[in-house]
Chain A
Amino acid sequence: MSILNFKFLNGVKVLTEIKKMATRDAYGNALVELGKEHEDIVVLDADLSKSTKTNTFAKEFPERFFDMGIAEQNMMGVAAGLAAAGKVPFASSFAIFATGRAYEQIRNSICYSKLNVKVAATHAGLTVGEDGATHQALEDIALMRAIPNMTVLVPADGVEALQAVKAAYELNGPVYIRLGRPKVDAVFTEDYEFKIGKAAYLRKGKDVTLIGTGFMTSEALKAADILAAEGIDAEVINISTIKPLDEETIIESATKTRCMVTAEEHNIIGGLGSAVAETLVSHCPVPMERVGVNDTFGESGKPADLMQKYGLTAKDIADAAKKVLARK
Chain B
Amino acid sequence: MQHLEVTAKKIRRHIIEMIGTANSGHPGGSLSATEIVTSLYFDVMNIDPENPADPKRDRFVLSKGHAAPVLYAALAEKGFFPVEELKTLRQINSRLQGHPAKHKLPGIESSTGSLGQGISTAVGMALAGKLDQSDYRVFCLLGDGEIQEGQVWEAAMAAAHYKLSNLVAIVDNNGLQIDGSISDVMSPNPIDKKWASFGWEVITVDGHDFKQIIDALNKGKSTDKPLLILAKTTKGKCISFMENLADWHGKAPSAEQVQCALEELK
**Taking beta carbons and an 8 Å cutoff, which residues of A are in contact with B?**
45, 47-51, 67-71, 73-74, 96-97, 100-101, 129-135, 299-302, 305-306, 309
Contacts of A300 in B (CB 8 A): 90-92, 94, 96-98
The CA-CA distance from A80 to B98 in the complex, in Å, is 33
**Which one of A68, A97, A305 lies within 8 Å of B114 (CB-CB)?**
A97
The CA-CA distance from A25 to B101 in the complex, in Å, is 31
B112 at interface (Cβ–Cβ under 8 A)? yes
- In the complex, the answer to whether B185 meets A299 with C-beta atoms within 8 Å is no
- With contacts A50-B179, A74-B150 known, what are 11 further pairs, Cβ within 8 A? A47-B145, A47-B186, A51-B178, A73-B150, A132-B99, A134-B99, A135-B113, A300-B91, A300-B94, A300-B97, A306-B92
**Which one of B22, B101, B115, B178 lies within 8 Å of A130 (CB-CB)?**
B22
30 A-B pairs in the complex with CB atoms less than 8 angstroms apart: A45-B179, A47-B145, A47-B177, A47-B185, A47-B186, A50-B178, A50-B179, A67-B185, A67-B186, A69-B185, A69-B188, A70-B145, A70-B146, A70-B149, A70-B177, A71-B149, A71-B150, A71-B186, A97-B114, A130-B24, A130-B25, A131-B99, A131-B113, A132-B98, A134-B65, A134-B114, A135-B99, A301-B91, A301-B93, A305-B92
Q: Size band of the B side of the interface? A: 20 to 34
Contacts of B121 in A (CB 8 A): none
- Closest chain-B Cβ to A240's Cβ sits at a distance in Å of 28
Q: C-beta contact mask, B127-163 vs A, less than 8 Å → 1, else 0?
A: 0000000000000000001101110000000000000
Q: Which 10 A-B pairs have the closest CB atoms?
A: A69-B186, A301-B92, A134-B113, A132-B98, A69-B148, A130-B90, A130-B24, A300-B98, A131-B98, A132-B97
The CA-CA distance from A134 to B112 in the complex, in Å, is 7
B111 at interface (Cβ–Cβ under 8 A)? yes
- Closest chain-B Cβ to A105's Cβ sits at a distance in Å of 11
- Chain B 87-126 residues near chain A, CB threshold 8 A: 90-94, 96-99, 101, 111-116
- Closest chain-B Cβ to A115's Cβ sits at a distance in Å of 20
**Which one of A45, A133, A302 lies within 8 Å of B92 (CB-CB)?**
A302
User: Do A133 and B97 form a contact, CB below 8 Å, given A47-B178, A48-B178, A67-B179?
Assistant: yes
The CA-CA distance from A67 to B145 in the complex, in Å, is 12
For B148, the closest partner residue in chain A by CB is A69
Contacts of A305 in B (CB 8 A): 92
**Taking beta carbons and an 8 Å cutoff, which residues of B are in contact with A?**
22, 24-25, 65, 90-94, 96-99, 101, 111-116, 145-146, 148-150, 177-179, 185-186, 188
Contacts of A68 in B (CB 8 A): 186
- Closest chain-A Cβ to B173's Cβ sits at a distance in Å of 15
- In the complex, the answer to whether A70 meets B148 with C-beta atoms within 8 Å is yes
For A51, the closest partner residue in chain B by CB is B178
The CA-CA distance from A131 to B98 in the complex, in Å, is 5
User: Do A96 and B97 form a contact, CB below 8 Å, given A50-B178, A69-B148, A134-B65?
Assistant: no
The CA-CA distance from A69 to B183 in the complex, in Å, is 10
- Closest chain-B Cβ to A76's Cβ sits at a distance in Å of 12
- In the complex, the answer to whether A135 meets B150 with C-beta atoms within 8 Å is no
For A94, the closest partner residue in chain B by CB is B114
The CA-CA distance from A264 to B41 in the complex, in Å, is 43
The CA-CA distance from A51 to B66 in the complex, in Å, is 15
Contacts of B188 in A (CB 8 A): 69
Contacts of B150 in A (CB 8 A): 71, 73-74
- In the complex, the answer to whether B98 meets A70 with C-beta atoms within 8 Å is no
- Closest chain-A Cβ to B50's Cβ sits at a distance in Å of 27
The CA-CA distance from A54 to B92 in the complex, in Å, is 30
The CA-CA distance from A42 to B24 in the complex, in Å, is 32
The CA-CA distance from A129 to B91 in the complex, in Å, is 9
- In the complex, the answer to whether B111 meets A134 with C-beta atoms within 8 Å is yes
Contacts of A134 in B (CB 8 A): 65, 98-99, 111-114
The CA-CA distance from A63 to B91 in the complex, in Å, is 41
- Closest chain-A Cβ to B138's Cβ sits at a distance in Å of 21
Contacts of B94 in A (CB 8 A): 300
For B146, the closest partner residue in chain A by CB is A70
The CA-CA distance from A92 to B40 in the complex, in Å, is 36
Contacts of A302 in B (CB 8 A): 92
Contacts of B112 in A (CB 8 A): 134
For B88, the closest partner residue in chain A by CB is A300
The CA-CA distance from A129 to B25 in the complex, in Å, is 11
User: Do A101 and B99 form a contact, CB below 8 Å, given A69-B148, A302-B92?
Assistant: no
Contacts of B116 in A (CB 8 A): 70
Contacts of B101 in A (CB 8 A): 132-133
The CA-CA distance from A47 to B147 in the complex, in Å, is 13
For B178, the closest partner residue in chain A by CB is A47
Contacts of A299 in B (CB 8 A): 92-93, 97
For A101, the closest partner residue in chain B by CB is B114
The CA-CA distance from A51 to B246 in the complex, in Å, is 14
- In the complex, the answer to whether A130 meets B98 with C-beta atoms within 8 Å is yes
For A305, the closest partner residue in chain B by CB is B92
